[in-house]
Amino acid sequence: MNQTKLEALRDKRNNFALKLSAAKYHLQKINEVYKENKELIRKGNIDDPRTRPFLYHYYALVYEMSSAFDMTLHFVNSQFDLGFADSSIQWKDNKTKFQKSLEMKSPESYQSIQKTFQSPCFEALKTTRDFLLHNGIIGLQIDCNDTQVNAINPVIGYKVLHFDCNLWGEEISKFFNSFYSEKK
Assign 3-class secondary structure to 12-43.
HHHHHHHHHHHHHHHHHHHHHHHHHCHHHHHC
Longest dimension (CA), the chain: 59
Reduced to 3 states (helix: H, G, I; strand: E, B; else coil), residue 146 is: coil
Give the pLDDT of residue 121: 75
Confidence (pTM): 0.79
Measure the CA angle with vertex 139, ends 71 and 53; round to 5°.
Answer: 65
State how far the alpha carbon of 130 is from the alpha carbons of 74, 89, 164, 168, in Å: 20, 18, 16, 17
Q: Is 9:180 a contact under the CB 8 Å cutoff?
A: yes
What's the angle, vertex CA 78, arms to CA 180 and CA 83, rounded to 5?
155
Mean pLDDT by 10 residues, the chain (184 residues): 86 89 87 85 80 87 88 93 95 96 96 90 80 76 63 62 59 79 54
What's the pLDDT score for residue 75?
Answer: 93
